Amino acid sequence: MEVRYSISPNEAKRMTTEEMRENFLIENLFMPGELKFLYSHVDRIIVGAAVPTTKALVIEGSKELGSDYFLERREMGVINIGGKGVIVVDGNRIEMDYKDGLYIGKETKEVSFESVDADKPARFYINSAPAHAVYPLHKIGYEDANKRYLGTPEEANVRTLNQYIHPAVCKSCQLSMGLTELQSGSLWNTMPSHTHERRMEVYLYFNMEENDIVFHMMGQPQETRHLVMHNEDAVISPSWSIHSGVGTKAYSFIWGMVGENQNFDDMDHIQTKDLR
C-alpha cells in the first residue's frame, strides 16, 4: 500500500508541476490481475482498484491500518467500471454489472473480487474510510442511485449526478460516493467551483479515449493550479482546494468524500470572477 502525507496550501502553491503530480495525482490504479491501494493521510481515505482476471483477488490486512483485517475499523464503497464481476463479502456472492455500486460495512472480515470473463475483466474502483458504527451491506445498482440533473448547455456542463453511497440511498458512517456523467458536448464538471472545509474529496476520471484529457483545477481560490488527467487517473483534493475540471470531450467521474458530514450541498461557493 502506497502512503501519502498531507500537504498544506502553503506548500502546494510553491510546488512544480511534477511535485503537484507526485503529491495529488494517482496513476496506474487499474492493473490486470492486481489489487492496488493508496493510503492518504488527508482524512485517512484509502483509494484503490481491483482488476481480477483468472483468479480472485482477496483483500488482506496491512501494517498501515494496525488492525487484524482490512475492514475491522473501516467501511468501503465499490463501483464497477468494467465487465461483469462478483464481489464475495463474508461468503455472500454479489454480482456486479457495469456501473453497479456496493457499500460494505465495518467489521466485514472477508472481501474478494472476481471477473465473470477474464478477457473482459471487471474494474472495481474502491474508496474506504474509518468507521465508528456497523451498517448493512447494500448493493446500489446504477438505476437505484439517486439522480440529480445539473447544468445548462450554455455553460457546457449538462450532467447527471448519480448518488450511490448517500443518505438518500443507504447508510454509512462518513463515506459518500457517486458517479457523474457529462452529456455529449458538455465539458465542465463543476463551475462555479467550490471548496468544503469539512470534507475532502477524490475524483476518478474515466470514459476517456487515449488522446483525451481533463484539466483538473485545484488549489486555493486565489492560488489555483491544474493537473492534466488521463483516463482512469484519480486526484486527491484536500478540503482547502477547489476541485473542478474541463475536458477535451465529455467524460465521467467518480467522486468520493470523507469528513465531518454527509451533506452533499455543504459547499463554500466561489464566484468565477474571484478565481486567480
- Looking at residue 228, its pLDDT comes to 98
Closest CA to 112 of 66, 52, 165: 52
Q: What is the 3-state secondary structure (H, E, C) of the chain?
A: CEEECCCCHHHHCCCCHHHHHHHHEECCCCCCCCEEEEEECCCCCEEEEECCCCCCEECCCCCCCCCCCCECCEEEEEEECCCCEEEEECCEEEEECCCCEEEECCCECCEEEEECCCCCCCCEEEEEEECCCCCCCEEECHHHCEEEEECCHHHCCCEEEEEEECCCCCCCCCCEEEEEEECCCCCECCCCCEECCCEEEEEEEECCCCCCCEEEEEEECCEEEEEEECCCCEEEECCCCCCEEEECCCCEEEEEEEECCCCCCCCEECCHHHCC
Q: How many CB atoms lie within 10 A of CB 182?
A: 22
Q: Quick count: other Cβ atoms within 10 Å of Cβ 44?
A: 16
Q: What is the pLDDT of residue 269?
A: 84
Sequence-distant (≥ 6) Cβ neighbours of residue 220 within 8 angstroms: 9, 13, 240, 241, 242
Comparing C-alpha atoms, which of 73, 156, 181, 164 is closest to residue 126?
Answer: 164
Q: What is the pLDDT of residues 156-202, one digit of tens each?
A: 999 999 999 999 999 999 999 999 999 999 999 988 888 888 889 99
Q: Going residue by residue through the chain, which has 276 residues, state the pLDDT in tens, using 9 for 90 and above.
A: 999 999 999 999 999 999 999 999 999 999 999 999 999 999 999 999 999 999 999 998 888 899 999 999 999 999 999 999 999 999 999 999 999 999 999 999 999 999 999 999 999 999 999 999 999 999 999 999 999 999 999 999 999 999 999 999 999 999 999 999 999 999 999 888 888 888 899 999 999 999 999 999 999 999 999 999 999 999 999 999 999 999 999 999 999 999 887 877 778 889 889 889
Residue 107: its pLDDT value, please?
97
- In this prediction, residue 192 carries a pLDDT of 83
Report the pLDDT value the prediction gives residue 29, as an integer from 0 to 100. 97
d(CA 240, CA 63): 29
Report the C-alpha gap between 100 and 139 in whole angstroms: 8
Backbone angles phi, psi at 100, to 5 degrees: -75, 150
Round to whole Å and give the CA distance between 269 and 236: 19
